[in-house]
Amino acid sequence: MKQLLPRTLTLCSTTVCMLLFGGCADDDDDSTPTPTGILTPPAAGEGIQLSLVHSLSPGEEIHWCRYVVLDEALDVSRFEHAYTQGSHHVIAYTTPFTAATVPSADDFNCEAGAGETFNGVAYVGGVPTGELAFPAGVGFHFNAGAVVLLEAHYLNPTDAPLDAEAAINFYNAAQPPTEQAGTLFLFDPGILVPANGTFTAQMTCEVPHDIHVVSLLSHMHSRGIHYEAKATSASSSIPLLDTDQWLDPEPTVLSEPLTLSTGTRFEFSCDYRDTTGMTVVDGPSKDHDEMCMLIGTYWPRMDFVHEQCLAPGSGPVFSGTQTCAQSLACIQSASDPIAAKQCAVNTCNDSSTALDDYQNCVFLRCINPGTCSGPDCGACAAASCGAEFQRCEAATCGS
């Protein structure tokens, strides 16, 4: 069984408005700056605030994480966040852990996704301040003892040390929600921008049941020059986002929820241009990697694979010349990650779905559970994704 292209699913990006975090420091830095109170916490009995502060060295870029055990059950009807200079985004993930099984209570360096385990996204903040309130009856429920993974992406652009801080408020709902909210976190792993060249990343993601969307946000890094997203069905195409802004794009908060029916697809694309002379692929660094994401808040909540665009028939759309089988053979013989990514993006349109389904299967059944890492998943893939492999072998590039 051929191996798959290692998938960079660090899921570190910007976005809407929803959970918490801040912080980042050198691994050997034992000093923790004092919080400055950038965000007034909820009054007693009305919610909680989570915050984190760390020092950044001049020019430092890093992702910092912490697992947080919630002391009490929460039904959240509104989120509010703020962060200082030096913060690029904050994300709060839901996790499968409990207070008894949480890996660590300490801050840890989670660059490139190291040490991160999650099963959903609760909130993302990609601008210095933001808030989001749900209609009556809609919200996020957290059990007492639930564990939230906080991730912050920090970048100090100055020549001096910098204290970076982020905080997020969870406001209690008056009544428990009858509809659970969810967060779209649609991440395209099929990006390769050639040195001094251009590239367009495209992705399609299925909606498995009727949903109501209340906010949307684009996300690219510094080579991004244009972003477009739409919702398509057999009978319509609804424009969602269209922007040239890559740095701190403001989330679009809809005055009335947008209802999308079963079978609708989110389709989005990112155009890139490199002027640095460096080939880049998808990854966490704002300057050295790229991203193409659609992030949004909606209800009722979909399952994990649809929130992450990992369901069958969903994933990157390519326009190359290779069949799925040719791309997998190319990936297996590639000498480095960039060469492997070139194999993937050279897949033809008619074979894109077969390649996506195979790679998504290996990620979900082998990599995400921790059975293996991307380059070492041949045995697990053979045992767990044989049907997807056979469909890949049979896929063509049309007549």
Question: 300 preceded by cis ω (within 30°)?
Answer: yes
| pTM for the predicted model, two decimal places | 0.83
What is the pLDDT at residue 182?
Answer: 94
Q: Which stretches of the chain drop beneath a pLDDT of 70? A: 1-36, 86-88, 374-375, 399
HSE (side-chain half, CA atoms, 13 Å) at 240:
28
Measured CA angle at 87 (ends 85, 92), to 5 deg: 145
- Give the bridge partners for 153, in sequence order: 63, 89
Task: Give the separation between CA 161 and CA 141, rounded to whole angstroms.
Answer: 38
The per-residue pLDDT for 4 is 34
**pLDDT given at position 399:** 62
- Amino acid in the structure at residue 214: V
Q: What is the pLDDT of residue 36?
A: 65
Predicted local confidence at residue 349, as pLDDT: 97
R_g of the chain computed on alpha carbons? 21
Main-chain phi, psi angles of 183, to 5 degrees: -125, 120
Name the burial class of residue 292, with classes exposed (0-12), middle (13-18) and buried (19+) by CB atoms within 10 angstroms of its CB: buried
Structure tokens belonging to residue 21: 């975090």
Residue 367 has what DSSP assignment? I
Length of the chain equals: 399
What is the reported pLDDT for 33?
55
Burial of 262: CB neighbours in 10 Å, binned 0-12, 13-18, 19+? exposed
How far apart are the C-alpha atoms of 355 and 344, rounded to whole Å?
8
At 317 the pLDDT is 98
CB atoms within 10 A of CB 190: 25
pLDDT in tens, 49-96: 888 777 889 988 888 888 999 999 999 999 988 888 766 677 888 899
Measured CA to CA, the distance from residue 118 to residue 95 in angstroms comes to 4
* Contact (CB, 8 A) for 31 and 55: yes
The torsion angles phi and psi of 290, rounded to 5 degrees, stand at: -130, 165
- Interatomic CA distance for residues 65 and 23, integer angstroms: 8
Distances (CA, A) of 354 to 191, 247, 325, 328, 388: 18, 34, 9, 11, 7
Q: How far apart are CA 152 and CA 147, in angstroms?
A: 16
Q: In this predicted structure, what is the pLDDT of residue 7? A: 36
Task: Tell which residue, 136, 165, 145, has the closest CA to residue 50.
Answer: 165
CB burial string 14-52: b at 16+ within 10 A, e below: bbbbbbbbbbbbeeeeeeeeebeebbebbeeeebbbbbb
Report phi then psi at 139, rounded to 5.
175, -175
What tokens appear for 331 in the block?
């990936």
Residue pair 259/210 in contact (Cβ under 8 Å)? The answer is yes
Taking each helix axis as running N to C, give the angle between helix 324-333 and helix 349-362, from 0 to 180 degrees, rounded to the nearest 10.
Answer: 50
